[in-house]
Structure 1
């Protein structure tokens, strides 16, 4: 048998070299690192309360489905300086997107501008920071919708008359102050026999809200209504009415998370909670943050998920709107697990 010719040996050598070269290319291509997921950092008003825990749950669910990284870092109190420090730390860490629910929009304006100057996207959610360089506001419901629903719920119990007071949270919270403005204007027009006697601020602390509500009832013995303007003051004012044994005399409504407000709905110390699906707000927040990070324009109507098939976007105000408020009562409270 004749051995391999010089030509056949040369061909074999070339083929072997080509195979090795291709193999080397494959190894180099295979070892290239995968692109890092978009890093979204959410900064709530305060950490550890059920409302923002529910938002975080929705954000984590969206992150899992969208392939992004979602983290939450909140201050222990509603001190605006604490939020500023957190944002500065996130700028140092070079996250891709910061989403903040501002305690004080004015205090955050400089650090938001600093983040934008360094190429970090900044959104607001739950609470807006008008007049800053935030790119999009993810709004839970319109101020008009929330404000009118709260007053209608209270007036349905007081007969459209009587004295009432508001226990809000942070005095500089833009969303709460806007709701209060709507409530004042709407009540004056729709329920002229009702009188708002005081507005006080509990700073996102339920025990403080309870104490303030008791003081209001002592100062105004003929008080017939209390509004808990946020998710800590809503159960706080209801507890005050329960503690003072004034169920059926002083009616409360508020913006309370379902499971926190449930005991008070069941015993009648709270008549109704006006809210929205908080987990859906978290989901929408993460989705919007990814759209902005990817440079994808928002449409007037957006299909976000099966649960959020038609989310509206207003280009003029740069606002994404979750939808209409939910009315939570003793009858439907168990539909919501947060």
Structure 2
């Protein structure tokens, strides 16, 4: 699958903005305020009048999130929303998104797109938003399915898990102790991937022992410290899987200047631009990811289709996601964006995100 490897050849999705530009564009986020709402028409859309869309990521100032939101901004414009914005917390705690959801409900926002830090902590506020007419699109990290209309998933969850266990097995020769450095303990996507990894290791890699799973909370400093702690606690550790872009980059930075470089394998999910130096210097052999921009782009079009009444989020519903083509809603109201791609020294320079 092509992951916007050459963005100039992919219409409809521009190079994503930098974190600083994104924050400047939504300066009200810093004060916890949400602005904007419908400037015409009623909440929930129906196809008439202006429609607004708000993205609420797990946290701001996250490189992965910036790429996702860049795609969402492009998708919102292409789908025809009159206004799009980003609001959200600076930390990824379970309840940190609630106040932003409540503000969007009061503003009469037509579509709320959210990556949940906790599947249930946001449910009460999302229910109020839906009761007020808003359509709820979960993306990246799902809410409880009862709390949203549709979920836009990066990939089939099991596929994400299996590619990471396969990569770590190849890198450590099929045997030895490994650990997982995840994001937050309550993240829906992370926990689902870890569950499948544990099952896959038990079924297909009997000589690989998972000795610990730790959490860096998608914070660079904490992730760096957790990686350090793992290597001190498990002197025989042969590999680390970090299924989070913040975690894998922080771990790679630690390994690259430590005695463990070249001795402890690292794989997981990372951004090519962040991981390039660590691939080039031999710290990391291979890692994986999907195109994050596509996730935001498809989520915007799903929100528009819901607001217009073209779909309800039930299995079998179809909608057109701009330049990325038609998408079909699957089991559990889930739409899959695309499979992961493995990055190595042979192809990492082909990608720019």
Offset, 1:335: 2.8
Offset, 1:280: 1.0
Contact 2:141 2:189 in 1 (8 A): yes
RCO (CA 8 Å, sep 6+): is it higher in 1 or 2?
2
Quote the residue 1:97 is aligned against: 111
- What CA distance in whole angstroms lies between the structure 2 residues aligned with 1:312 and 1:324? 15
Contact 1:153 1:271 in 2 (8 A): no
Quote the residue 1:59 is aligned against: 72
Which 5+ residue runs of structure 1 have no aligned equivalent? 1-32
CA deviation vs aligned residue, 1:204-247 (integer Å, no higher than 9, x gap) = 11221111111111111110000112110011111221132312
Q: Aligned match of 1:263 in 254, 272, 277?
A: 277
Q: Aligned match of 2:327 in 270, 288, 311?
A: 311
Q: Aligned match of 1:125 in 134, 139, 153?
A: 139
- What CA distance in whole angstroms lies between the structure 1 residues aligned with 2:295 and 2:216? 24
Contact 1:214 1:244 in 2 (8 A): no
Quote the residue 1:40 is aligned against: 53
- What CA distance in whole angstroms lies between the structure 1 residues aligned with 2:212 and 2:257? 21
Offset, 1:118: 1.1
Contact 2:155 2:337 in 1 (8 A): yes
CA deviation vs aligned residue, 1:84-131 (integer Å, no higher than 9, x gap) = 111111111110011110001111111111111111111100011124
- What CA distance in whole angstroms lies between the structure 1 residues aligned with 2:318 and 2:130? 26
Contact 1:116 1:122 in 2 (8 A): yes
Q: Aligned match of 2:128 in 114, 128, 145?
A: 114
Contact 2:301 2:322 in 1 (8 A): no
Quote the residue 1:134 is aligned against: 148
1:254 aligns with 2:271: no
Contact 2:220 2:250 in 1 (8 A): yes
1:282 aligns with 2:308: no
Q: Please provide the CA RMSD for this pair.
A: 1.7
SS of 1:141's equivalent in the other structure is: coil
Offset, 1:160: 1.0
Q: Aligned match of 2:237 in 203, 206, 223?
A: 223
Which 5+ residue runs of structure 2 have no aligned equivalent? 1-39, 42-47
Offset, 1:301: 5.8
CA deviation vs aligned residue, 1:32-74 (integer Å, no higher than 9, x gap) = x896432110000010211111111111112222221221112
Offset, 1:322: 0.2
SS of 1:81's equivalent in the other structure is: coil
Contact 2:113 2:138 in 1 (8 A): yes
1:160 aligns with 2:174: yes
Quote the residue 1:329 is aligned against: 344
Contact 1:228 1:236 in 2 (8 A): no
Offset, 1:283: 0.6
Q: TM-score, normalised by structure 1?
A: 0.86
CA deviation vs aligned residue, 1:129-154 (integer Å, no higher than 9, x gap) = 12432000000001110000011011
Change (3 A) 1:311 1:271: farther
Quote the residue 2:101 is aligned against: 87
Quote the residue 1:208 is aligned against: 222
Offset, 1:80: 2.3
- What CA distance in whole angstroms lies between the structure 1 residues aligned with 2:80 and 2:349? 31
Change (3 A) 1:131 1:313: closer
Change (3 A) 1:161 1:312: farther
- What CA distance in whole angstroms lies between the structure 2 residues aligned with 1:45 and 1:328? 25
Q: Which has the larger radius of gyration?
A: 1
Aligned residues: 304
